Amino acid sequence: MSKELYQKAISFTKKKIKESITLDYYIVQLVASIEDLDTISNKMIKRLRDWYELHLPEFSRQVTDHKVFLRELKFAKKELMKKNGIKISMGADFSEQELKSLQNLRNATLEIFKLREEQQKELEKLMEKHYPNLTTLSGSLIGGKLIKIAGSMKKLIEFPASTIQLLGAEKALFRHLKTGKKPPKYGILLSHPFVAESKDKSKAARKLADKISIAAKVDYFKGEFIGDKLKAQLK
């Protein structure tokens, strides 16, 4: 192969690789990263709470909000006891080095929370700009997860509403097919307020999936914004 032909082949390959990194692929990776950060932060906050309960268990059990817990942890034990009305603690007093190690874990956990928030904001901007109808119906994270599970927006719009309703419930569906257990009635749509707060969650998930199916198609083919109209039809 001549040097000129080789360079053309390299250029062609680079061009194809660049073209393959589409918006949807980026969204998929962004959603996957957010999911990873959720898993990591949950493990870290659990470890931090378990560790801190050796020092001031009453505070850890009293403050259930993770963000508040992390924010308040910068204060010394006596100050936290005073602020939260804790007169006597069953916890042990930590040495300066032990407290330093605890604060290092707190700071690392805060950074994970911060990174997660930044990536969530980035996802929201992308989804609102490129898929406004889907985002209005599902929210940026659920919409992004639907694209991730499907593989791309193109694949998502090829699914019927009944399939969209079950996306995220693949394991439960497999158990149903393998063991004959009851089939799932919804997947990640259960985390949507419209479904979560409904008395008939199956019916709500079916209705939401139907509107999401329409919204996704309109977005994919660059149609007009009808998200508000579709959302109003859920009521």
pLDDT at 20 over 50: no
Correct CATH for 20-130 of 1.10.287.4070, 3.40.50.2300, 1.10.20.10, 1.10.1740.10:
1.10.287.4070
Q: Which of 3-7, 43-47, 52-56, 97-101 has the lowest mean pLDDT?
A: 3-7
**The pLDDT of residue 235:** 82
Total-model pTM: 0.83
SS3 65: coil
Select the more confidently predicted residue: 4 or 86: 86
**The pLDDT of residue 89:** 92
Closest to 84 (Cα-Cα) out of 66, 64, 58, 51: 58
Cα dist. 213→50, 77, 234 in Å?
44, 53, 13
Which of the four pLDDT bands, split at 50, 70 and 90, describes residue 174? low
SS3 159: coil
Q: Tell me the CA end-to-end span of the chain in Å, nearest whole number.
A: 66
Correct CATH for 131-235 of 1.20.1260.10, 3.40.50.300, 1.10.246.90, 2.102.10.10:
1.10.246.90
**The pLDDT of residue 95:** 94
Closest to 139 (Cα-Cα) out of 234, 53, 57: 234
pLDDT in tens, 117-152: 999 999 999 999 999 999 999 999 999 999 999 999
DSSP 188: G
Helix, strand, coil fractions of the chain, as percent rounded to 5: 75, 0, 25
> What CA–CA distance (Å, rounded) separates 190 from 168?
10
> Do residues 60 and 53 make contact, with C-beta atoms less than 8 angstroms apart?
yes
**The pLDDT of residue 4:** 72
Q: Which of 30-44, 55-69, 90-104, 168-182 has the lowest mean pLDDT?
A: 168-182
**The pLDDT of residue 210:** 97
> What CA–CA distance (Å, rounded) separates 4 from 71?
60
> What CA–CA distance (Å, rounded) separates 149 from 112?
24
Which of the four pLDDT bands, split at 50, 70 and 90, describes residue 171? confident
Q: How far is CA 39 from the centre of its chain?
A: 10
Per-domain residue ranges of the chain: 20-130, 131-235
DSSP 192: S
pLDDT in tens, 23-43: 999 999 999 999 999 999 999
Q: Do domains 20-130 and 131-235 have the same CATH topology?
A: no
